Amino acid sequence: MNFEIISAQYIKDYKIALTFRDGKTGVVDLSEYTGRNDVFKPFSVPEFFKSFKVEFGTLVWGNGEVDIAPETLYKKIIFQ
């Protein structure tokens, strides 16, 4: 399967609508990543969270220093 993300749109709170190369679409809730004291700590700033972009099929924040593997996001959509 191809887990490449081709588009992402902010919905609200910590929810993002994703479209994958294979046509699968869905909304992921990434609120579980907030409040962590690791690479995801910047997610506690809503403006940072909203600043994501898609690069090379992956959802990234900042200058690429924060990302979530596309296969992880795909599984979240499939097993909602």
Q: What is the pLDDT of residues 1-16, one digit of tens each?
A: 579 999 999 999 999 9
β pairing state of 5-12 and 15-20: antiparallel
Structure tokens at 26: 């869905």
pLDDT of residue 78: 87
Q: What is the mean pLDDT of residues 40-63?
A: 95
Give this prediction's pTM. 0.93
pLDDT of residue 79: 84
pLDDT of residue 11: 98
pLDDT of residue 36: 84
d(CA 57, CA 46): 23
CB–CB of 59/19 below 8 Å? Answer: no
Question: What domains appear along the chain, each with residue ranges and CATH number?
Answer: 5-78 (3.30.2020.10)
